[in-house]
Amino acid sequence: MPIFEVKDLRLHYLLRYGDKVHAVDGVSFSIEQGEVLGIAGESGCGKSTLVNGCMGLFIPPLCPTSGDVLVEGESLMNRTPKDIRENVLARKVSIIPQGAFNSLNPTRKIKNFAADLINSHEKGGDKKAIYKRLHDRFELLGMETDRVLNSYPIQLTAGERQRSVIGISTLLNPKLVIADEPTSALDVTTQKAVIKMIFDLLERKIFSTMIFITHELPLLRHVANRIGVMYAGQIVEMGTAEQIVFDPRHPYTKALMSSMLSAEPDQKQRKPVTIDGAPPNLVKTIAGCRFADRCKETREECKICKQEIRIVGERLVRCQYAA
Amino acid sequence: MQHKTNIFAAAGITRIFGHGKKSVKAIDAVSFTIEDEEIVSIVGGSGCGKSVLAKMMLGLIKPTAGEFLYSGREIKNLREHWREVQPVFQDPFSCFNQFFTIRSQLESSFCIFKQKPSRREVKERVDGALLAVNIKPNEIEGKYPFELSGGQMQRMLLARIFALRPKVLIADEPTSMVDACVRANILEYLMKLKQELKMTIIFITHDIGLAYYVSDRIFIMHKGQIVEQGSPDTVAFRPQSGHTLQLLEDIPDIHKEWIKR
Amino acid sequence: MLKKYPTTRYILRSGGWYFLTFLVAISVNFVLPRLGKANPVDIIIAKHGAGKTQHAIQVKEEGYLKEFGLVKLDPDGAIVRDADGKPVRSSLWSQYVSYLGMCLRGDLGTSFMNYPKKVSEIVIEAVAWDFALQLPAIILGWLLGNILGALAAYKRGVFDYLFFPLSLLVCSIPFFAFGMLLKYQFGIVWPIFPTTGGYASNIHYSFSWEFFSNASYYYFLPFMSIFPVLLGGYAIGMRSMGIYELGTDYIRYASYLGIKENRIISYVFRNAMLPQLTGVALNLGNMIGGALIAEIIFSYPGLGTTILKAIQGQDYTLIQGTALLVAIMIIAANFTVDIVIAIFDPRVKAGMAGA
Amino acid sequence: MKLLVNLLKLPTFVFSVGLLLLTIFLALLGPFFYPIDVISKVGPPYMAPNAEHLLGTDNLGVDMVSLLIAGLRSSLYVGLFAGIIATAVGTFLGVYAGFKGGWIDDLINMVTNLFLVIPTFVVLILISASLTEGRSLELIGIIIGCTTWTWTTRSVRAQASSLKARDHIALARVNGAGTLKLAMLHILPYLLSYVFMVFIIQVATGVAMEATISMIGLGPFDTVSLGIILESAMNNDALNDGIWWAFIPATVLLTVIVFSLYTLNTSMETVFNPRLRK
């Protein structure tokens, strides 16, 4: 039985005058224990909305239209915010937020902020025991634990704050961790150090299953077992990392892969492909394929008939002409 | 080959911020020369001093030690300097004033010249520049900056350079805030500027892949020092300095082993 | 030595700064009344001098001139006289220096109206009453206002919909107008509370329980005319700060982690409270000004009533004395707020350690 | 333009503008509908309100309604006058300090903090006490304006210095714009909405401060203002004799002005602030 499952999830934002933005429109996937699913896509494709959905956080103006989200078979839909907060958040599903380096309370020491998390989910526990537990966990993060635990966020470097957030988010050994662009603002060297630390936590079984969200496909190649490419609120292609990176089938994934530039001998000759235009406005419902007007291989039918996800070359593709 | 004039010449320049115990050496005894009509990339992690160097080339900050010359002489009069050296900034959204239309801001860029060209010529040059970044002039007619997307805004910054036609362009991380698929466009325009308008371009970035594709020479910077200089192939495939090697290894390249699992 | 204790260094530095402000306050106090052409003593003499013999007036005038330090004195204190016996006026600068000396020694000169009484005596007594009225009103108003403001920011719903316009209305009524309404409603239409004075005339000033119970009976209306307006002001400030804090990344992260609701409210309260503290210090001056006037409605024996009598009686030394006292009260309040911020706000402390 | 449309959708904005316009309408056009006569006595002192004189008479027997309208006019006038001075001085110093930076910024900051600590109220007493001759409305307005600019300077400076770091200033500078052009075209438009909100608060403070000084007898000479009405009500013990029309209408008017200005400010804050901070 998969540890985490999303069944045909539809989410929309309620705007002021009754129109709805269907930010997530029929997303389905399931993750097994110990698997890392990568989600890639341009800015504005609905990644962050999907994150709120996966955590059961349906705070207005975001509301679910239909579909289901299951953690270990237990649905997160239509449950009271209190119930979600006590039983799901940080214990079953936890998040490493985007821009993690300013997500720490500036007026509280790291140890107190972490202790708040523990006290919110577990009864009692004296200060000493909690500090010991924090100390052991922060030892794994490769930092001077005592200095970090006793300092304010303002006294730490961006890298240290990033690691502390990862430490806090995974404190209660959640079943699933969602990392929302955890390294986008860091430079290459720090990025590699943070990813190495995440692998280390995975190996020590602090947490086993992860959804890793970023717009850089090469990073996902090394981090994720399977990758789902999202465009305008839908998954357009879903397959193993090798399939997506080395043998993309959906025109959008192909364009994404070929617009990557890396220091390789034949790079000079291989002109990078560009995608003009911008993602469609999601207020109006779109009949045909949402990528039709930007796609290089677009045909008449693309604009008319609805594109269903189908199996092509052992992976899921949402394009009827994909070979 | 006709003798190339030196656009920038730096001899042992240093820049220190702060004083006493708190001082930080942003640029540490750096020497280099940049000739005419070439694209030079400056690559390095955050905090390596590349943006400080960019500001120095624009004349916004002076070195605390050493000699920094622009075509043979110190940068004295900023207005004159900016007639030949123009920047492109990193964040397209905060680059334009939200209260004026795009076109009026592009046209007001011509105030930098001693005598501003005639209105008709300014309009022509701006229209020509817009076409160069394949945006049809009527697309942005009467439009305000907040009505355009990030990619379009970045192209506006480049259109401004196509219109002004300076001798040197300092592009400070023009691609970092833009999605991957538009990134390649930006690089194309840089190369177009060099080929068609014989412009010298300084391209600042942290992504060595982009630098390899677009530049004639690459400087690798680490903690305020230039640790490696050379053609893209030597820097990418036969690096001498350990830092360059480290930089190359840290990039998640799809073909190479990145982190042992 | 100071490097190790950043907080003490910060407090000393701001202490020095406030002392400088205190000196400027004294100088402003000295310069402003002299802006007008008429010299204060001439006005007084013209007013009190009517109907007395020429000689008596002259003696009195010289007494005042000496009192005011307006005339040159030779070493043994006699007035230096010029050719035709008129006292030689001392230069403005020496007046200023003598005034400065007097203030630093705490001697604010003698009041004109009640002549033999020293200004400092009148003022000290009035300040005692003021502490009793102002301090609790400000502290209670601040605490309750912030709590209600934080709740309004967090709950938003019906509580905020009702509470916000009400507190906006209350805080836009000037103190004394609110005092008038209260006096009229609870003093005259329903005569529950006494409306004038600080205590019943038949009870004399003593520290007995009987005096206190009576005084608190008189105390209620002036207090109620200041307290709600302060509360409304602080609540609005805290509400907008609270709403701002709720939008920050760390609050969103805390809610993602499922941290308890009242713990998150305490985060909002704590982080919004510190800028609120600076807010308090900033407009303390205007608030105390307004509150003093509210005393006049109830002729509560505080500084406000003293100032009114001084102005009506053209009693310059008393006006200067009370104005200086109000300035000192506010400078002291700002200084205490600075210390509290230095101790409680890690961001400031970290900033200091770095500075 | 677009902003105005957003504003008009806000009920609080429409309510506060309506209330404000009502008071201004009453003040400016009052005399056309109701004969204003603040000199001649129309009845015995403190005559109860009757059909002819809706709010009776004051301690001298002058018609209260005309007193109120005249008082409203002068109070608004002083408030506006003080507001303009305080905002103008504050904005100029704020933008100059925020934009120039360096030691000028520290100097202006020091002076502002100094005046901020010394209470406006004390300065007012000292100045008014020494000006025994005609304290005209303009003079009172100037005094209030010159003592309340500190708050504006401090908040405008914070906004201006945060703007200085934005790229569009660097781009404008590289376009060859001089300091004046930079301040006028690139800093001020961003601050305009903020300065207007500060102006509203300053006008409200001006009106309230005028009433406060008049209460202690230092108000404008030989003219009527809401503060003067309240002062005469207090001095003639109108409260004890239950003459409500001597002070309640004046208090209501005073509160309405300040309340409508404060609501206007808060309603605009929801629309303007997030945009400015973007």
Smallest CA-to-CA distance from C270 within C286, C251, C283, C292 is with C251
Residue B256 at interface with chain A, using a CB cutoff of 8 Å: no
Q: In total, how many domains does chain A have? A: 1
Spans of all domains in chain C: 13-105, 119-354
Full residue range of the structural domain in which residue A274 is found: 4-80+176-186+208-317
Q: How far off is chain D from B231, nearest CA to CA, in Å? A: 31
User: Within the 34-93 window of chain A, which residues sit less than 8 Å (CB to CB) from chain B?
Assistant: 42-43
Residues whose CB is less than 8 angstroms from the CB of residue D172 and which lie 6 or more positions away in sequence, other chains included: B97, D181, D182, D185, D186
> CATH no. for residue A311?
3.40.50.300
Chain B residue nearest residue D277, CA to CA? B94
Residue B213 at interface with chain A, using a CB cutoff of 8 Å: yes
> A147 in a domain, yes or no?
no
- Which residue, among B75, B78, B91, B95, would best test binding to D if mutated, counting the most D CBs under 10 Å from its CB? B95
Smallest CA-to-CA distance from D98 within D151, D149, D148, D162 is with D162
Query: Is the model's pLDDT at D275 over the cut of 50?
Result: no
Residue A152 to residue A163: CA distance in whole angstroms: 14
pLDDT in tens, chain B (261 residues): 445 678 888 888 998 888 777 788 888 888 999 888 889 999 988 778 888 888 888 888 888 888 888 888 888 888 888 889 999 988 888 888 888 888 888 888 888 888 888 889 988 989 988 888 888 888 888 888 888 877 788 888 889 998 888 999 999 888 877 777 778 888 888 888 888 888 999 999 888 888 888 889 999 998 888 888 999 888 888 888 888 888 888 888 877 788 876
User: Within the 181-220 window of chain A, which residues sit less than 8 Å (CB to CB) from chain B?
Assistant: 186-192, 195-196, 199, 215-219
Residue D36 to residue D69: CA distance in whole angstroms: 8
> A104 in a domain, yes or no?
no
- Which residue, among D12, D117, D139, D270, would best test binding to C if mutated, counting the most C CBs under 10 Å from its CB? D117
Q: Which domains does chain B have, with CATH numbers?
A: 6-250 (3.40.50.300)
The pLDDT of residue A31: 92
Q: How far off is chain D from C289, nearest CA to CA, in Å? A: 5
Contacts of B58 in chain D (CB under 8 A): 174
Residue C91 to residue C103: CA distance in whole angstroms: 18
Sheet holding B168-172, edge to edge: B85-88, B168-172, B200-205, B39-43, B217-222, B225-230
- Give me the residue from D117, D126, D254 closest to C174, CB to CB: D254
User: Within the 174-213 window of chain C, which residues sit less than 8 Å (CB to CB) from chain D?
Assistant: 174, 176-177, 180-181, 183-184, 187-189, 195
Give yes or no for a contact between B192 and B131, defined as CB atoms under 8 angstroms apart.
no
The pLDDT of residue C155: 79
Residue D131 at interface with chain B, using a CB cutoff of 8 Å: no
Crossing angle (nearest 10°) for helices D64-100 and D226-235: 120
Q: How far off is chain B from D177, nearest CA to CA, in Å? A: 8
Neighbours of chain B (3+ CB pairs under 8 A): A, D
The pLDDT of residue B132: 86
The pLDDT of residue D274: 46
If one counts every other C-beta atom within 10 angstroms of the C-beta of residue D153, the result is 28
Residues whose CB is less than 8 angstroms from the CB of residue D98 and which lie 6 or more positions away in sequence, other chains included: D105, D156, D157, D158, D159, D160, D161, D162, D163, D164
Chain C residue nearest residue A54, CA to CA? C256
In angstroms, the Cα distances linking A234 to A252, A305, A317, C137 are: 12, 16, 11, 59
Give yes or no for a contact between D261 and D206, defined as CB atoms under 8 angstroms apart.
no
Residue B188 to residue A50: CA distance in whole angstroms: 34
- Which residue, among B48, B133, B179, would best test binding to A if mutated, counting the most A CBs under 10 Å from its CB? B179
> A69 in a domain, yes or no?
yes
Per the model's pLDDT, the better-predicted residue between D253 and D217 turns out to be: D253
Q: Pseudo-torsion of CA A260, A264, A265, A266, nearest 10°?
A: -20
Residue C283 at interface with chain D, using a CB cutoff of 8 Å: yes
Q: How far off is chain B from D7, nearest CA to CA, in Å? A: 18
Give yes or no for a contact between D130 and C35, defined as CB atoms under 8 angstroms apart.
yes
Residue A26, SS3?
strand
If one counts every other C-beta atom within 10 angstroms of the C-beta of residue C168, the result is 22
Given CATH 3.40.50.1820, say whether it is the number of domain C119-354. Answer: no
| Per-residue pLDDT tens digits for A65-121 | 889 999 888 888 888 888 888 888 888 899 998 877 788 988 889 999 999 999 888
Residue B101's Cβ-side half-sphere holds a number of Cα atoms within 13 Å equal to 10
Q: Pseudo-torsion of CA D80, D86, D87, D88, nearest 10°?
A: 100
Q: Residue D8 is inside which H or E element, if any?
A: helix D2-8
CB contact under 8 A, A169 and C267: no
> A255 in a domain, yes or no?
yes
Neighbours of chain D (3+ CB pairs under 8 A): B, C
DSSP category for residue B30: E
Q: How far off is chain C from A104, nearest CA to CA, in Å? A: 5
User: Within the 131-150 window of chain B, which residues sit less than 8 Å (CB to CB) from chain A?
Assistant: 149-150
Q: Pseudo-torsion of CA A78, A84, A89, A92, nearest 10°?
A: -70
Q: How confident is the model at residue D16 (pLDDT cuts 50, 70, 90)?
A: confident
DSSP codes of every residue in A130-171: HHHHHHHHHHTTTS-HHHHHTS-GGGS-HHHHHHHHHHHHTT
Residue B141 to residue B102: CA distance in whole angstroms: 8
| Per-residue pLDDT tens digits for C88-139 | 666 777 777 877 887 777 777 777 666 677 777 888 888 888 888 888 888 8
Average pLDDT over every residue of C307-329: 79
In angstroms, the Cα distances linking D31 to B250, D34, D66 are: 80, 5, 8
Residue B62 to residue B69: CA distance in whole angstroms: 11
Chain B residue nearest residue D278, CA to CA? B94
Residue D123 at interface with chain B, using a CB cutoff of 8 Å: no
**Number of helices and strands (H, E) in chain A?**
11, 12
- Give me the residue from C261, C263, C345 closest to A107, CB to CB: C345
